[in-house]
Amino acid sequence: MNSFGRSFRITSFGESHGPAIGVVIDGCPPGVRLSEADIQPALERRRPGKDPLSSPRKEPDRVEILSGVFEGKTTGMPIALLIRNLDARSSDYDELKDLFRPGHADYTYQAKYGIRDHRGGGRSSGRETAARVAAGAVAAIILKEAEITVSGTIEEIHGVTDPGYFAAEIEKAKAEGDSVGGIIRVTATGCPPGLGDPVFSKLDALIAGAMMGIGGVKGVSIGDGFDAARMKGSEHNDPMDRHGFRSNHAGGILGGISSGADIVVRLAVKPTASISLPQKTISRTGEEAEIRVKGRHDPCIVPRVVPVAEAMLSLVLVDALFEQEKYRRFVKE
């Protein structure tokens, strides 16, 4: 389904080249100051067409609040946010109507639904993430009141870890008609202990699901992640003293519940599937073909995934905060 969250629940809709994309936020508390101006900056960060390295599609991405806000404040009712699609050049995709682009959802959507909106990837397009970013901006306002900050950064592009060389690495791929991936770290500071539930709804389980639900993400880790598999217990366990944890190998989560330390998440983003180099593929009728993907694509989507990953972590945390509220009256210190 196209909903995410339990107590702070979003439902997103829309295709890359349809009339609009949008999101309905259900569970936002009443009394929160909110206007379009609070959401627009987050959309700007994700927006295509800003620099030579991102897709040249020019979308103003103007968000409209359709409901749930009265006299500048939320009312507790569902908040519907709408973003019209304007610069959709669907004819660029005519050729792709019958050919499956390697690394894309074309083949699997066709197999599942027997029909697909091929224009710009339809619902599987990265454009859908604008809805998440808009919802994440609302979540961030609530987190701010709770003094929780979420921020993401690029750690690697195509194996390069020096930020000074990231642009060069992407330009090189672009010049080759190829693409590159990378690694993102997202951190939440200020989280109180106690967020998350045991067993299936562990905070890290919710985060992993949220992050792996972003297109192009192939791996998620918490704290030391895969490195933890190569450590000893005596190295990995975070000792405590009266000031709190003395290290943070765990990445802020123990037994699925936040510990109060920074929550540290990493995402592995694959290289953009759309490349202009020739690739072998098949058509809908099963004939072999060669494809060169046209259209307007980012040679590296990592920079644009950063705000999406921040949005998803913000959504998970607000949701966990509200779930946690239910217990607070009953916990005796």
Site for its own copies in 120-179 (CB under 8 A): 122-124, 128, 156, 158-159, 173, 176, 178-179
50/197 with CB nearer its own copies: 197
Q: How far is the CB of 313 from its own copies (least distance, A)?
A: 14
Which region, judged by CB under 8 A, interacts with its own copies, from 38-46, 51-59, 303-311, 325-333? 325-333
Distance CA 306, CA 45 (A): 9
Q: How far is the CB of 271 from its own copies (least distance, A)?
A: 4
Phi, psi of 82 (to 5 degrees): -125, 135
**Ranges within 215-234 binding its own copies (CB under 8 A):** 215, 218-234
Buried b (16+ CB within 10 A) or exposed e, 115-132: ebbbbbbbbbbbbbbbbb
Q: How far is the CB of 215 from its own copies (least distance, A)?
A: 7
Q: How far is the CB of 203 from its own copies (least distance, A)?
A: 9
137/308 with CB nearer its own copies: 308
Q: Which of 29, 85, 80 is nearest to 61 (CA)?
A: 85
Q: How far is the CB of 326 from its own copies (least distance, A)?
A: 5
**Ranges within 66-125 binding its own copies (CB under 8 A):** 66-68, 70, 73, 75-80, 82, 100, 102-109, 111-117, 122-124
Asked if 183 is part of the footprint of its own copies (rule: CB under 8 A), the reply reads yes
- Residues contacting its own copies: total by CB under 8 A: 152
| Interstrand relation of 253-254 and 182-189 (parallel, antiparallel or unpaired) | unpaired
CA distances from 325 to 247, 263, 330 (A): 28, 20, 10
DSSP string, 2-39: -EE-SSSEEEEEE-TTSSEEEEEEE-PPTT-B--HHHH
12/137 with CB nearer its own copies: 12
Asked if 240 is part of the footprint of its own copies (rule: CB under 8 A), the reply reads yes
| Interstrand relation of 253-254 and 217-222 (parallel, antiparallel or unpaired) | unpaired
The DSSP call for residue 58 is -
The sign of the CA dihedral 320, 323, 329, 330 is negative
Q: How far is the CB of 128 from its own copies (least distance, A)?
A: 6
Are 274 and 295 within 8 A, CB to CB? yes
Q: How far is the CB of 114 from its own copies (least distance, A)?
A: 4
Distance CA 27, CA 75 (A): 10
Asked if 187 is part of the footprint of its own copies (rule: CB under 8 A), the reply reads no
Which region, judged by CB under 8 A, interacts with its own copies, from 38-46, 55-63, 133-141, 284-292? 284-292
Asked if 12 is part of the footprint of its own copies (rule: CB under 8 A), the reply reads yes
Asked if 262 is part of the footprint of its own copies (rule: CB under 8 A), the reply reads no
Q: How far is the CB of 303 from its own copies (least distance, A)?
A: 14
Are 295 and 243 within 8 A, CB to CB? no
